[in-house]
Amino acid sequence: MKPFFVIFLIFSAASNAQAQGYDVPLDSLSEWTGKKSIRVVSNIEDLNTDKEFLALLGRLTVKGFDVKFGSSGPIDEGLTLEVLQVRDKTALSIKSTDSQKYFLSVLIDKANQDGGEIRAEAYTPSILPLPEDFSPKMVEALPRPSQKDSQLVFLSDSALVLGLFDGGRVKRIDELTSGIKNSKAIFLSVGQSDSDPNPEVAVVWGQDRDISGKGQYTKIFSQLFEISGQTLQEESEKAENVALRFINNQLHTQRYELLQGDIGKIAVTSGKQTNARNDSVVPADAGNMIFSYFPIDNATSIIVNEANLELRNSSWKSSPQLGLGKVSSPRLTKRLKDRKIITSPDYAFSVNEEHLSIPRKAVVNNGSVVTYLRKRRPGLSGLTSASGPDSLIKASWDSDTPESGFSISPMHEISSFIIDFSYVKNRGAFRLLVLTNEESDNQGARKIYIY
C-alpha cells in the first residue's frame, strides 16, 4: 500500500492588502537597449507635484533613466512615459517613441482608490504548512464536479501526486514517480482527449544534460496520465523530445529537440499520437512556445514570458504589455547550432546555449486574466529577510478598445513567494489554492493558502 497522510489546517488572519496606484512593476524595462532617457507626456494638471507619481520617477532614476517633462530634446531617442486621464481612469504606458514596442500599459481606476491607493479586499485565508518530503512546484484542479471532495494533482521534480481537498484539508492518495534520474518539473495541465469520463493529466519533465566541451541542453519527456477513481494510471508511454499540454481541453504537442537546437510548431494531437517529427522549426521566442500561449479567440491571445504578459493580435499596430516582475521559474536549456564568441581586450569565451524560461500560471476568462506579480524581494543570505508581498491580480481589457491597455484589480497579497495557484470547485463554491515558498528559488518552507 502506498503511504499517505493528512495535512491539517492552521488558520491565520491576513492584513489589509494595499498597493499604490503608481506602484507598477518595471522589470520589463530591462529589455530596453537604447538611450536611457524617458520623456513624460501627460494631460493631467499638476502631475509633477503628485508625490506617488514622483516616487515612480524616482524608481526610474534609480534604474539609470534620465527623466524629463515636456517636449524638449530629440523625439526619436529614449522612451515615452504617457499618463493620460481617460474619464475616471488614468492610462499609464511606457513605450518606445515610435509606439512600436510597449514595456508597460495599465489603467489605474480612480474610482477604486482611496487617497491614491488601490485597496484589495481583506481576507482571512487558511494556511497549510507542507511537510518537508512534499515539495510540489505546480497544482491543477481536476474537473470532477459531481464528487463531494475535490481532486487535485501536484507536480514535483520527481513525482505526480493525486490529492483530495475537502475544503479544510488536503490528503495525498496516490503517487507515481517520473522514473527519470535528476528530473525537474516543467509543466502540468489537465483535460480530456478521449470519450471516457476519466480526467487526464499531461505532464512534462526535463533532465539537464552536459555535452563535453559543447555546453548543455535539456532533454524533454512528456506523458499522459488518467485518473480512475482515486488512482493514477499511465495513459501513454513517455515521449522524448515532445511537450504535451491541454489548451481549452484539447491536447496539443510541440517538438523540443534541444540538443539540435530545434523547436517545432504547436499542433493538436491525441493521447495516442504524442510524437511530432515532420513539423518545421520555429524561433525560440515566447510567442511560439506551447507553455507561453494562452488563446482568447481565433485571432487574439495572451503571451506570457519571464517578466511580463502581452495581449497580442496580428491586426493591431501595437500590443499592450503588463510587467509582472521576473520569477525564478523552470528553465529549458537549448543548444546553439552556431556558437557565439564574446570578446573583450582581456578575455574571450564562447556561448554554447540559451535559456528558455517556463512562464508563470495565467488563467484567461471572459476578457480578463488572473496571474500574479512578483513584488516580493529576496533577502541577503544571512543578513536580511525577504521583504514585501507577492500579489495575485486580475488584469482586464476593454473588448472594444483592447489596445488601450490593462485595468488592474488586486485580489490577494501574500507575504511569501507565489509559486503556482489553481481554482478548485468544492461543494458548489470555487476556492483558490495558492502554492507559496519562503524562498524565491523554491527551496524554502512551503505552504498552501486557501481563499
Q: Looking at the predicted structure, is the pLDDT value of residue 202 above 50?
A: yes
Q: Looking at the predicted structure, is the pLDDT value of residue 112 above 70?
A: no
CA distance 261 to 282: 10
Provide the greatest CA pair distance for the chain.
Answer: 75
> Considering the entire predicted model, what is its pTM?
0.72
Q: Looking at the predicted structure, is the pLDDT value of residue 273 above 90?
A: no
How many secondary structure helices (H) and strands (E) does the chain include? 1, 37
| CATH fold of the domain at 6-15+121-450 | Methylamine Dehydrogenase; Chain H (2.130.10)
> How much is the pLDDT for 76?
58
Residues in contact with 200: Cβ distance below 8 Å, sequence separation at least 6, in sequence order: 190, 191, 192, 193, 194, 224, 225, 226, 227, 235, 246, 251, 271
> How much is the pLDDT for 348?
61
DSSP string, 39-106: EEEE-STTGGG-HHHHHHHHHHHHTT-EEEESS-S-TTSSEEEEEEEETTEEEEEEEETTSS-EEEEE
CATH of 18-119, one of 3.40.50, 1.20.1070, 1.10.3470, 3.30.450: 3.40.50
Report, as an integer, the average pLDDT of 361-373.
91
> Mean pLDDT of all residues in the chain?
81
Which of 181-185, 301-305, 333-337 shows the lowest mean pLDDT across its residues? Answer: 333-337
> How much is the pLDDT for 184?
96
**Quick one: which of 97, 117, 101 has its CA closest to 109?**
117
Give residue for cell 500560471.
Answer: 361
Give residue for cell 540559451.
Answer: 354
> How much is the pLDDT for 331?
92
Residue 52's CB: how many other CB atoms inside 10 A?
Answer: 13
> How much is the pLDDT for 194?
79
Residue 292's CB: how many other CB atoms inside 10 A?
Answer: 22
DSSP structure class, residue 271: T
DSSP string, 413-429: EESSEEEEEEEEEETTE
Asked if 401 contacts 386 with a C-beta cutoff of 8 angstroms, the reply is no
CA distance 32 to 36: 8
Q: What is the pLDDT of residues 148-180, one digit of tens each?
A: 678 999 999 999 999 998 877 888 999 999 999
What residue ranges do the domains of the chain occupy? Answer: 6-15+121-450, 18-119
Q: What is the pLDDT of residues 377-392, one digit of tens each?
A: 988 776 788 889 999 9
Report, as an integer, the average pLDDT of 298-308.
91
Q: What is the pLDDT of residues 223-234, one digit of tens each?
A: 999 999 899 999
Please tell me which residue, 219 or 77, carries the higher pLDDT value: 219
Q: Looking at the predicted structure, is the pLDDT value of residue 119 above 50?
A: no
Asked if 75 contacts 98 with a C-beta cutoff of 8 angstroms, the reply is no
Q: Looking at the predicted structure, is the pLDDT value of residue 10 above 50?
A: no
The x, y and z cell numbers of residue 386, run together, are 525577504
Cα distances (angstroms) measured from residue 288 to each of 84, 142, 268, 310: 33, 27, 14, 13
pLDDT band at 122 (very low <50, low <70, confident <90, very high): very low
